Amino acid sequence: MDVAIGAIGLLHSGAAERSIENELVRRCKERDPEAFGKLLELYQARVYGFVRRMVRSADEAEDIAQEVFVKAFQNISKFDGRASFSTWLFKIASNLCIDKARRHQRRPEPVSLSNDDGDAREVETSDLRWDPQNVAVVGEMERAIEAAIASLSEKLRGVLLLHDLEGLSYDEIATTVGVPVGTVKSRLFLARAHLQAALSAYLKPEEAI
């Protein structure tokens, strides 16, 4: 079981992951303390990584990530298995991050995405009040990517991270965020379009805006 669990770290989805997940959840419902520990070990980095990029600071990220696992384990008996456990965890995380953002009263402001003709297209993408300089990354490009992601609104950032970073499918993201699949795709497209504009210096010409 331990070797299989270790291998899951290299996978984001798949039947094997789902099977091990189900087994651990079943043992958690029987109040097996070891199973709780294994689930925590399995998902702590992914959940923390997602939350860290959704909120302002590492302290906030730790508090929220901790709350994610507390809520999940306290309510494990309510998990019905219709979605994967990871989807359920990210749903809790996403809701907590959005609640936090609302408490901070962050509001996205329209930012123009200019095309080559100079026509401005206003798209709800950025929260200019959040200073991306607070995000600690290594390397100039990584720093630029992190800053561009940080400047997105919560709606766009959440979908981008869940799909491109965490590897969730459109259906899983739709379940996590509570919107139709078409809306997931729209938000992902808008988020990537904004990143393309912000990272044009690092992109090959055919993909840069």
> How far is residue 153's CA from residue 199's CA, in Å, rounded to a whole number?
17
Structure tokens at 83: 């979605």
Q: What is the rounded (10 degree) CA torsion for 160, 58, 100, 73?
A: 90
Interface size with another protein, residues (CB under 8 A):
53
Which range of residues in 15-23, 35-43, 86-94, 97-105 is near another protein by CB under 8 A?
35-43
Kindly identify the residues of this chain, within the stretch 53-82, that bind another protein according to CB under 8 A: 53, 62, 65-66, 69-70, 73-74
User: Which of 5, 83, 98, 145 is in the footprint of another protein by CB under 8 A?
Assistant: 145
Q: How far apart are CB 46 and another protein at their closest, in Å?
A: 8
Across-strand partners of 111?
A: 123
Question: What is the distance, to the nearest Å, from the Cα of residue 132 to the centroid of all Cα atoms in its chain?
Answer: 17
Amino acid symbol at 160: L
Binding pattern to another protein, positions 94-133, x when CB under 8 A?
A: -------------------x-x---x-xxxx---------
Q: Count CB neighbours of 16 within 10 A.
A: 12
User: Which of 5, 98, 179, 193 is in the footprint of another protein by CB under 8 A?
Assistant: 193
Which range of residues in 14-22, 36-44, 88-96, 100-108 is near another protein by CB under 8 A?
36-44
User: Which of 13, 95, 169, 186 is in the footprint of another protein by CB under 8 A?
Assistant: 186
Would you count residue 13 as binding another protein (CB under 8 A)?
no
Q: How far apart are CB 23 and another protein at their closest, in Å?
A: 17
DSSP state of 152: B
Question: DSSP letters along 103-151, please?
Answer: HTT---EEEEEE-TT--EEEEEEE-TTS-GGGS--SSHHHHHHHHHHHT
Q: How far apart are CB 113 and another protein at their closest, in Å?
A: 7
Alpha helices, H only, the chain:
2-8, 15-29, 33-54, 58-74, 85-103, 140-150, 154-160, 170-177, 181-198
Q: Can you give the binding site for another protein, defined by CB under 8 A?
A: 31, 33, 36-37, 40, 44-46, 48-49, 52-53, 62, 65-66, 69-70, 73-74, 113, 115, 119, 121-124, 137-138, 141-142, 145-146, 149, 160-161, 163-165, 182, 185-186, 188-190, 192-193, 195-196, 199, 202-204, 207
